Amino acid sequence: MSDMNQFISDQLLWFVVAFVVIVLVLAIIVIVQGANLRTMRRRYEAMMSGSGVEDLESLLIDLKNQGEMLEDGQREHKAILEATTLKISGMKSNVAMKRYNAFGERGNDLSFSLAILDDASNGVVLSSLHNRENSYIYSKPMQKGESQYPLSPEEKEVVTLALQQT
């Protein structure tokens, strides 16, 4: 035991120096960590100021709820846009008209053909044939650019003009 006491007393200086170095290194680590903690606390307080929330957990929950509400609104808007797009494509927005003299008599171009079609070439062709004694109106349905009734050259022309508008 006395040998051990002798060894410790001979090496005591080195033990003290080693412990001092370890304590100094730990003190430096504590100071650096304290500075990092202060910086993080300042950033946290800056982030939380003006939010009306006391802690980060409440803020994150509020942000998650707001994100879900935005996603729900976005889904609703997407559905509305898809329905509107579908409705618009079915609207009869391609219109063309041609006036002409159907009977070659004296007079003005009082006869006309009118094509009203949607983007899928569905719709109707209206023709009014006018002479001095009578006026006739014809309606011919159109499905995919074709009619089950024969079309006059003027009616074919207005269908072509209407389809060119797409």
pLDDT one-digit tens code per residue, 132-161: 788 889 999 998 888 899 888 889 899 888
In the predicted structure, residue 106 carries a pLDDT above the cut 70: no
SS3 131: coil
CA distance 146 to 155: 11
Both 103 and 154 in a single domain? yes
CA distances from 161 to 24, 142, 144, 155 (A): 91, 14, 15, 10
Quick one: 139 and 78 in the same domain? no
- Span 64-85, mean pLDDT? 94
Cα angle for residues 55, 58, 59 (degrees, 5° grid): 85
Residues 153, 98 share a domain: yes
How high is the pLDDT of residue 124? 92
Q: Are residues 8 and 38 in the same domain?
A: yes
